[in-house]
Amino acid sequence: MSTRPRSPLRADIAVLPGDGIGPEVMAAAIAVLERVSSADLQLTFHEAAMGGHAIDEFGDPLPESTLKTCEQVDAILLGAVGGPKWSDPSAPLRPEQGLLALRQKFDLFANLRPVKAYPSLSAQAPLRSDLLTGVDILFVRELTGGIYFGERHEQETGDSAYDTMFYREAEVLRAAHIAFQAARGRRNLLTSIDKANVLAVSRLWRRSVEKLHDEFRDVQLEHLLVDAAAMHLLTRPADFDVILAGNLFGDILSDEASVLAGSLGMLPSASLSADGYGMYEPVHGSAPDIAGRGIANPTGMILSAAMLLRHSLGCETEAAAIENAVDGVLEAGARTADIALGASPISTQEFTEAVIEQLA
């Protein structure tokens, strides 16, 4: 989905550190991006408030000034939002509202979540190491439809409530198109997730994906019920290539798949519009229990920055360099606390410095 010329390139990036460990991992990503910058790639960063801290300072999880900044840049880097202070689900203002508002504002309908099992971490992973050989999965999650955006009962404090899972065929087709294209550039295998044996919306989902398959006959398509998918992700993960899912199922399954990488802290993501504008963030949350201690794993944030270079700026060389540097430091034994498992952990800053040294 890269749409911009390669070089020379000047790009503006909105930086939304957010809450908890967000500012710590964001600092790591910015340092790495500055390292790969050059005369041909000049990046300017514009920091703005979002999430819980924005509620405290501006009375809004997504202040108008932040939204304006995001409208004037080439892409968005987001740390993490939320925390115990703002965790009341009945509160009129919540950090997550800012995240949903950004997705809707820029029509960020395609959420890409790559999950890779690192050989250097396989012995420490929760699954048997032999199950992790060759695991390299790309989740394509539809992000602006489904149950998270459906109608909700006004009186959730009473004795009943409901949420509506709603999809239009067009919403399914555009997400499926991204997934088919991705599979065509990988192993030509697409697994579409639904619950078509129970849900009418899943039967629409399956029909829509089948309809589009006529344009991608070179890609092998399989349909898998979400409960079976949850099991097979942990029993035969290497069999998967690209996984397409709706908002709810994609959210749950991609988080489950974090065990394949060794930690949720390892996983990046990209949320893209049709023209390549994107928001890039690690899959993990704000982790308030470790915030300020300098022990957060910055890998997911650093790899999200690499995805920004690839998908919004078209800078494949720099993106691959960052990914190879992360591979290198992991292979060399660098471990933050979440993936140490008996090894001596290093700090967020030390891990970041190791990646920058690899880049050098």
Tokens 């660098």 appear where? 334
Show the tokens assigned to 42. Answer: 């000049």
CA dist., res. 236 & res. 20, Å (int): 35
Read off the DSSP letter of residue 287: -
Interacting residues of 209 by C-beta distance below 8 A, sequence separation 6+: 172, 176, 192, 221, 223, 244
Numbers of helices and strands, H then E, in the chain: 14, 10
Read off the DSSP letter of residue 301: H
Q: Which one-letter amino acid corresponds to residue 265?
A: G
**C-alpha angle 298-240-308 in degrees, rounded to nearest 5:** 35
CA dist., res. 291 & res. 35, Å (int): 25
Interacting residues of 95 by C-beta distance below 8 A, sequence separation 6+: 18, 19, 50, 51, 52, 54, 55, 61, 81, 82, 83, 86
* Residues carrying an active site annotation: 148, 195, 227, 251, 255
Query: With contact defined as beta carbons under 8 Å apart, do 8 and 38 qualify?
Result: no
The span from the first CA to the last CA of the chain, in angstroms, equals 28
What ranges make up the beta strands (E) of the chain? 9-18, 41-47, 75-80, 110-116, 136-142, 189-194, 220-225, 242-245, 268-272, 278-282
